[in-house]
Chains A and B, each alone.
Chain A
Amino acid sequence: MFPQALHYSIADAVNRFVDWLVLYYGDAFREVSDHLLQLVAGIEGLLRLCPWWLLLALVGGLAWHASRSWRRAAVLVGLLFLIGVVGLWDKLLQTCSLVLVATLLSVLIGVPIGILLARKPLARRLLMPLLDVMQTLPSFVYLIPVLMLFGLGKVPAIFATLVYALPPLIRLTELGIRQVDVSVTEAAACLGANRWQSLRHVQLPLALPTIMAGLNQTVMMALSMVVVASMIGARGLGEDVLTGIQTLNVGLGVEAGLAIVALAVVIDRVTQGYGDPAQRDGRIR
């Protein structure tokens, strides 16, 4: 047994801190939350405005543009169509808008941080352990305080998704930039490129396949958080999975679960298509 004399618990201090935060800053946090909520609601409204066939056509076009393969585009559109057939279209849109906002925020935050980490070894040493924490800390541990501050629903869900899904994008952006051959950047510098030009026109394009692989992982992990998101009141496909589990309605759970998988396959193929230049140019089909 561990000696009793060495026991020290931080639980009380953390509890008091959260109580204090809610009491004095709760209303301010709610305001921030309302702004973010409007963004999500806006995207959801936009998706809802589109008729279903237009959305399918858009996804088909995007899939074709990414892979230049008609067969693949048709299969992906077929998958989404099937989600609609089982009556989950509305929930699909809700999940989509959540994942979309989370992904956009991930790119906005993750790519710059990844570039920073690739250039500054000190930042890398400091931030890498933080990324480990983000990926392994059980989500409900930070979700409940976040929930008390931001309120129920979509905003804490996006927050949770960000915490969990951001690390792969940061890691792979950093890896991609670092793996760019030094001689190439030196050549660019010799030709008179400044640091920004070298980053913009040499390093980022060369690192793009790795960054896209990171983005792909981020979206996949965002989708895997959909069920957790529904546990804090965000509606969508996760809600049906949760209902299925809690009422032992295995059929309902499988239906919604497969819908999440189908959505994941669609997003995965499209982002991979863009990440693999050889495939895009039509050399590999």
Chain B
Amino acid sequence: MTIIKNLLGGSLLVLGLLAQPLPAAEQRQPIHFADLTWESGSLITELLRLLVEKGYGYRTETLPGSTVSLEAALARDDVQVIGEEWAGRSPAWIKAEGEGKVFALGDTVKHATEGWWVPEYVIKGDPERGIPALAPDLRSVADLPRYKAVFSDPESPEKGRFLNSPTGWTSEIVNSQKLKAYGLTDSFVNFRTGSGAALDAEISSSIRRGKPVLFYYWSPTPLLGRYKLVQLEEPPFDAEAWKTLADARNPNPRGTRSMPARLTIGVSAPFRAEYPELVAFFEKVDLPIALLNSNLADMSEKRLPPRQVAERFLREQPAIWQAWVPADVAARVSGGL
């Protein structure tokens, strides 16, 4: 009994001591950036943080979280900046933007895209690695039913496997509707991958082993900079057809390419009011996608920390980022590197 009493008493004492109020912070609060876990997100976040810290002299910090919880945190101003926001995609974002709690700034990466991809060796073969061309005439999504055996699904071998995006992403709905629109529901399994890590692991493992794989993917990403991939052709973009794809309940969707993505920097309303100079800078950010992809591929292949890649980018590509900020800020950044 005494042991239990000691245990309870001890726990209570420790908790009591720890729960003392912290001395109030006198300084200005640091700017909280969302700690995005995917590669382009983390690289862009580190680029922005470096420029804000070295150029404008503000302290910054990051807070981790899932995309949806970070968007919710931005609306409450718990996080002030989300470095890569696919504006207008998630319902949580649209709601918060409608209420004026969050703002999407700039157009950070132009020509960002999403679609269905296969490795190049599936179409052309790879004599060096001894891989035959398994689907030589595969050009567009309409050719897929002919090649369902190539992408055979081990769980139901009579169908092909299409790796959809992780459960719960907006693109998962679009891809499921596209499968219907292209008449592929009978020949392909709509395989939801559950998480981005699982999707990446399956793709990299297949490519490393030289096996055919059909998957949804998007750019900017290291995967597109790293491997030779071919995007399957889809009908040209049509806004009306896109609406039928984005609506999960529409029974008769029509096929079209995905809506061109607009990548922005998401900021909270109080941040926008407090830091007008940073807002002006964020609106000018413009990263060329090919350069970004190659940096991402390098970062992922050599497993470099994003901050190191960001510093290198600032050193090597001054022409690009110096156009975003005033000359005095650019000089301070260059001096600080």
Q: Which residues of B contact A234 (CB under 8 A)?
A: 194
Q: Knowing A15-B303, A243-B167, A246-B168 touch, does A233 contact B208 (C-beta < 8 A)?
A: no
- Give the residue name and chain of the B residue nearest to A239 (CB): B167
Q: Is the CB of B168 within 8 A of A247?
A: yes
Q: Which residues of A contact B197 (CB under 8 A)?
A: 140, 144
CB distance from A134 to the nearest CB of B (A): 21
Q: Which of A46-54, A77-85, A148-156, A163-171 forms contacts with chain B?
A: A148-156
Among A11, A23, A231, the residue within 8 A (CB) of B303 is A11
Q: Is the CB of B202 within 8 A of A147?
A: yes
Q: Knowing A26-B208, A147-B201, A248-B92 touch, does A243 contact B168 (C-beta < 8 A)?
A: yes
10 smallest beta-carbon distances between A and B, as pairs: A246-B168, A148-B205, A231-B194, A231-B195, A243-B168, A147-B201, A26-B209, A232-B198, A233-B194, A152-B202
Q: Which residues of A contact B154 (CB under 8 A)?
A: 30, 33-34, 37, 151, 153
Q: Is the CB of B204 within 8 A of A246?
A: no
Among A34, A151, A247, the residue within 8 A (CB) of B91 is A247
Mind listing 26 A-B residue pairs with CB under 8 Å? A19-B208, A22-B205, A27-B209, A37-B154, A144-B201, A147-B198, A147-B201, A148-B201, A148-B204, A151-B205, A152-B193, A153-B191, A230-B167, A230-B194, A231-B166, A232-B198, A233-B192, A233-B198, A242-B194, A243-B168, A245-B168, A246-B169, A247-B68, A247-B90, A247-B91, A247-B168
Q: Which residues of B contact A230 (CB under 8 A)?
A: 167, 194
A41 part of interface (Cβ distance < 8 Å): yes
Among A12, A23, A41, A244, the residue within 8 A (CB) of B208 is A23
Among B68, B91, B191, the residue within 8 A (CB) of A233 is B191
Segment 57-105 of B: residues with Cβ below 8 Å from A: 66-68, 72, 90-92
Contact with B along A20-62 (1 / 0, CB 8 A): 0011001100100110010001000000000000000000000
B274 part of interface (Cβ distance < 8 Å): no
Contact with A along B146-169 (1 / 0, CB 8 A): 000000001100000001001111
- Give the residue name and chain of the B residue nearest to A12 (CB): B303
Interface centre among A19, A27, A33, A232 (most CB of B within 10 A): A232
- Give the residue name and chain of the B residue nearest to A145 (CB): B201
Segment 260-278 of B: residues with Cβ below 8 Å from A: none
Q: How far is the CA of A26 from the CA of B213 in the complex (A)?
A: 15
Q: Is the CB of A152 within 8 A of B198?
A: yes
Q: Is the CB of A22 within 8 A of B72?
A: no
Q: Which residues of B contact A235 (CB under 8 A)?
A: 192
Q: How far is the CA of A22 from the CA of B198 in the complex (A)?
A: 15
CB distance from B251 to the nearest CB of A (A): 18
CB distance from A173 to the nearest CB of B (A): 27
Interface centre among B66, B167, B204 (most CB of A within 10 A): B167
Q: How far is the CA of A37 from the CA of B166 in the complex (A)?
A: 21
Q: Knowing A27-B209, A246-B66 touch, does A231 contact B72 (C-beta < 8 A)?
A: no
Q: How far is the CA of A153 from the CA of B201 in the complex (A)?
A: 12
Q: Which residues of A contact B92 (CB under 8 A)?
A: 248
Q: How far is the CA of A41 from the CA of B153 in the complex (A)?
A: 13
Q: How far is the CA of A30 from the CA of B90 in the complex (A)?
A: 36
Q: How far is the CA of A144 from the CA of B198 in the complex (A)?
A: 7
Among B192, B202, B303, the residue within 8 A (CB) of A151 is B202
Q: Which residues of A contact B204 (CB under 8 A)?
A: 148
CB distance from B70 to the nearest CB of A (A): 12
CB distance from B206 to the nearest CB of A (A): 9
Q: Which residues of A contact B198 (CB under 8 A)?
A: 144, 147, 152, 231-233
Interface centre among A15, A41, A248 (most CB of B within 10 A): A248
Q: Which residues of B contact A30 (CB under 8 A)?
A: 154
Q: Is the CB of B191 within 8 A of A248?
A: no
